[in-house]
Chains A and B, each alone.
Chain A
């Protein structure tokens, strides 16, 4: 029962299905199942690590400049992580670097990662008990896990949504959007 509750909670907090964050990125990555899952995993890495760092920005930044300066600080955090992850990948060998760098390029700057950071920051501003590094880290991980779940949903139906049985005008992206809408409706009912 606890597991079911956890799954429902994870779905209800899903950033793609409830806030449409990262939908564009998911469609960019949706050229294949492998691409989709790998991109989702790299995005999870970004949301988790970046969230932990944003705690320091949220804590140290004076409230008078928060509205205007938060974005630039978050952008710099993601920028540093982007360069760092590419550097680490480079040391794993040239073949792996060439094969996997595109996932890092797609995953760094997008609504999924940036939206997660802002969502966590908003929640922490509303509830002081959430204001600690571990919670930020876990919330980032949770958002990434939600992204992976949504990617799995899309990957499961990917072939059928792109099949010839779907009318040509609706094949691919339009069918995927409607499909995500129906899943989102189901998740809304779970709330």
Chain B
């Protein structure tokens, strides 16, 4: 039986958004092939998710579930407007490369479907800390994926040519994204189970 207590730090290792729940993986598979794209996606995800979830937490629970879901989606669609506007200023190149995945981040399943189960049952302070760690968990995976795929697929780091003899161009393609994420997911699970069994042994 799993007696593990939920911790506010779970978002990084215990319940990582991408590697554990496979949420918001489309942008990572398609656009997470360079550090620049990764940074742009991180900015968009962080700002839209954080602001939308904070505003969404004020939606009264008396409202029927279906209407609440629609309200969450509308809030994030409205938050998308200023986020996009700033993105045009800070990441003009990546906007075109990311394309339709930019607005899709606004209606990601964490904001629309999972927000109630994961965050809205907590008290506000705890919710914000937990949310920050979930976001950091996403950012770390996104950045790592972008860096590794850019290095091995294109032989560059932050668009500067790196000293690498052989590149695996397939890693920059969607199928490369699927396979790389699958492998990362497996390694993550192995690490997580080792950490948990280590913790159990030390408790005993």
Interface of A toward B, CB cutoff 8 Å: 17-25, 27-28, 67-72, 75-76, 78-79, 82-83, 86, 105-106, 108-111, 114-115, 118-119, 122, 167-170, 173-182, 184-185, 188
Could you pull out 19 A-B pairs where Cβ atoms are within 8 angstroms? Answer: A20-B177, A67-B84, A68-B85, A71-B103, A71-B106, A72-B77, A79-B73, A83-B70, A105-B69, A111-B104, A115-B26, A115-B104, A169-B187, A169-B193, A174-B182, A174-B186, A177-B22, A178-B179, A188-B173
**Cα–Cα, bound, A178→B185 (Å):** 10
Interface of B toward A, CB cutoff 8 Å: 22-26, 29-30, 66-67, 69-70, 73-74, 77-78, 80-81, 84-85, 99-100, 103-104, 106-109, 112-113, 170, 173-179, 181-183, 185-187, 189-190, 193
A24, A69, A114, A180: the one within 8 Å of B178 (CB): A180
- Contact between A110 and B109, CB atoms less than 8 A apart: yes
Please name the residue on chain A nearest to B182 by beta carbon.
Answer: A177
- Contact between A19 and B178, CB atoms less than 8 A apart: no
Nearest CB in chain A: distance from B113 CB, A: 7
- Contact between A118 and B175, CB atoms less than 8 A apart: no
**Cα–Cα, bound, A178→B182 (Å):** 5
- Contact between B26 and A22, CB atoms less than 8 A apart: yes
Interface centre among B23, B74, B99, B174 (most CB of A within 10 A): B174
Assuming the contacts A20-B178, A75-B77, A79-B73, asked whether A118 and B112 have C-beta atoms less than 8 A apart, the reply is: no
- Contact between B77 and A19, CB atoms less than 8 A apart: no
Residues of B within 8 A of A71 (CB): 77, 80, 103, 106-107
Assuming the contacts A71-B80, A177-B181, A181-B175, asked whether A105 and B113 have C-beta atoms less than 8 A apart, the reply is: yes
Please name the residue on chain A nearest to B111 by beta carbon.
Answer: A109
**Cα–Cα, bound, A108→B67 (Å):** 12
Q: A24-B25, A105-B113 are in contact. List 19 more A-B contacts (CB 8 A).
A: A17-B174, A18-B174, A20-B29, A24-B23, A25-B109, A28-B109, A70-B103, A72-B78, A78-B73, A79-B73, A82-B69, A83-B66, A83-B67, A118-B100, A118-B103, A118-B104, A169-B193, A176-B182, A184-B178
